[in-house]
């Protein structure tokens, strides 16, 4: 018997909440880096808060054993390499509108498809490869390389998506033997260690307001990741896939209300291709059967 009963409506609700929380978390990060707080300092403080909170939470529940792993070096290495993803993304947020960065980061879905074929030896057929190509065309349009935007910042977000895809694949392999909470803990531990090594060169004094913002960011990040995972436990992936992209609506709304950002025509066009291709990839994945190509 399954541990959780399937409930698509509840899963959709959890996904909508998760995307809102992720958008809010990124907005806090943009607020901090726009105030000249280094992305490294943001990552260090956030990571250590999460790293300390998880064992305390598990201890209170009598579940500390969930952190046990026979592969500690793999976990730690994954976290240390994973540090580059938020570093690139948060650094880009200093100059990019929130919605623009989110749209480009959606390319992770296509990178994951390609990486699954290369590293996990999954069979990817013509339908999904076509969606990947269309999705990357959307990325190029959204980045608008001939326009006046900060192209280097777009490249940083694209790099963040690539690194995220790598650590996702790595985590998928590690999850065969270890718990999800162990992956979250080790990821933040590795990121915290790397970020802390660079703190002497970027540290700025933390005010009470900044501490509050960083604490809020850490709490929102934890709840967002938990809610996101809970959505996939409760509902089918093909049902949830379209609702993942509601994050674009949240980021557009927050960007307009806080920074008066209005997405360009190129951004909306690219976003339409990216979202459409992403949903199609998820649809073909849901239809996939053993030994079949899609």
What tens digit of pLDDT does each residue of 50-86 get?
A: 899 999 999 999 989 989 888 899 999 999 999 999 9
Residue 256 has pLDDT above 60, yes or no: yes
- pLDDT at 237 exceeding the cut of 70: no
From 286, 220, 279, 222, select the one nearest 245 (Cα to Cα): 279
Q: Tell me: the pLDDT tens digits for 187-222?
A: 999 999 999 999 999 999 988 999 999 999 989 988
Mean pLDDT score, 236-242: 71
Which string of b and e fits 166-177 if b means at least 16 CB within 10 Å? bbbbbbeebeee
Nearest to 267, CA basis, from 27, 98, 63? 98
Q: Is the per-residue pLDDT at 139 higher than 60?
A: yes
In the prediction, which pLDDT does 4 show? Answer: 47
Calpha distance 248→23 (Å, rounded)? 8
Closest alpha carbon to 120 in 170, 183, 176, 180 = 170
Contacts 24+ apart (CB under 8 A), 50-56: 50/184, 50/185, 50/188, 50/218, 50/221, 50/222, 51/185, 51/188, 51/189, 51/192, 53/218, 53/222, 54/181, 54/184, 54/185, 54/188, 55/185
> Which carries the bigger pLDDT value, residue 215 or residue 279?
215
User: Considering the chain, what is the average pLDDT of its residues?
Assistant: 85
Q: Name the pLDDT band for 108 (thresholds 50, 70, 90).
A: confident
Measured CA to CA, the distance from residue 113 to residue 118 in angstroms comes to 9
Region 14-22 average pLDDT: 91
CA–CA dist 39, 214 (Å, integer): 12
Find out whether 245 and 79 touch, Cβ atoms under 8 Å: no
Residue 87 CA to residue 76 CA, distance in Å, equals 17
Q: Does the pLDDT value for residue 20 go beyond 90?
A: yes
Domain edges within the chain: 8-287
Residues 164-188 pLDDT 10s = 888 877 887 887 788 878 888 899 9
Q: Please indicate whether residue 238 or residue 60 has the higher confidence score (pLDDT).
A: 60
Q: Is 248 helix (H, G, I), strand (E, B) or coil?
A: helix
| Range with top average pLDDT, 6-10, 168-172, 204-208, 226-230 | 204-208
Residue 253's pLDDT band, with cuts at 50, 70 and 90, is very high
Q: Mean per-residue pLDDT for 30-55? A: 92
C-alpha angle 225-95-38 in degrees, rounded to nearest 5: 65
Per-residue pLDDT band at 43 (split at 50, 70, 90): very high
End-to-end CA distance of the chain: 30
Please count the other Cβ atoms lying within 10 Å of the Cβ belonging to residue 192: 23
Local structure of residue 205 (DSSP, 8 states): P
Interval 263-268 mean pLDDT:
88
Q: What is the DSSP letter of 71?
A: -
Question: How far is residue 41 CA from its own chain's centroid?
Answer: 19
Which range among 138-147, 152-161, 170-179, 229-238 shows the weakest confidence by mean pLDDT? Answer: 229-238
pTM of the shown model = 0.85
Contact 164, 85 (CB under 8 A): yes
Spatial CA neighbour of 102 closest among 276, 245, 231: 245
Task: Give the pLDDT of residue 275.
Answer: 86
pLDDT at 147: 57
Comparing 2-6, 91-95, 209-213, the range with the smallest average pLDDT is: 2-6
pLDDT of residue 47: 92
Is a pLDDT exceeding 70 seen at residue 289?
Answer: no
**What pLDDT was estimated at residue 3?**
44
Quick one: DSSP state of residue 231?
A: H
Which pLDDT belongs to residue 1?
Answer: 41
The three state secondary structure string of 174-203 is HCCCCCHHHHHHHHHHHHHHHHHHHHHHHC
Sign of CA dihedral 90, 42, 202, 193: negative
């Amino acid at each position: 018997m399954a541990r959780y009963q399937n409930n698509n409506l509840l899963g959709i609700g959890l996904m909508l909440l998760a995307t809102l929380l992720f958008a809010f978390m990124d907005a806090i990060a943009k607020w901090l880096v726009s105030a000249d707080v280094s992305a490294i300092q943001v990552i260090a403080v956030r990571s250590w808060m999460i790293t300390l909170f998880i064992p305390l939470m598990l201890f209170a529940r009598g579940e500390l054993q969930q952190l046990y792993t026979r592969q500690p070096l793999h976990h730690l290495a994954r976290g240390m390499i994973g540090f580059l993803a938020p570093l690139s993304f948060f650094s880009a947020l200093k100059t990019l509108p929130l919605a623009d960065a989110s749209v480009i980061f959606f390319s992770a879905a296509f990178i994951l498809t390609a990486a699954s074929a290369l590293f996990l030896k999954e069979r990817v057929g013509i339908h999904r490869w076509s969606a990947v190509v269309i999705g990357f065309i959307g990325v190029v349009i959204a980045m608008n390389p001939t326009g006046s935007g900060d192209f280097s910042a777009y490249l940083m977000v694209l790099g963040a998506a690539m690194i995220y895809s790598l650590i996702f694949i790595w985590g998928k392999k590690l999850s065969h033997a270890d718990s999800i909470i162990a992956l979250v803990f080790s990821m933040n531990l590795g990121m915290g260690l790397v970020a802390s090594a660079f703190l002497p060169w970027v540290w700025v004094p933390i005010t009470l307001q900044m501490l509050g913002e960083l604490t809020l960011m850490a709490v929102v990040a934890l709840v967002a990741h938990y809610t996101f995972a809970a959505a996939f436990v409760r509902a089918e992936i093909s049902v949830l896939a379209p609702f993942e992209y509601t994050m674009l609506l949240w980021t557009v709304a927050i960007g307009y209300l806080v920074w008066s950002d209005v997405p360009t025509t190129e951004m909306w066009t690219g976003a339409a291709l990216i979202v459409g291709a992403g949903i199609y990839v998820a649809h073909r994945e849901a239809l996939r059967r053993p030994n079949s190509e899609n």
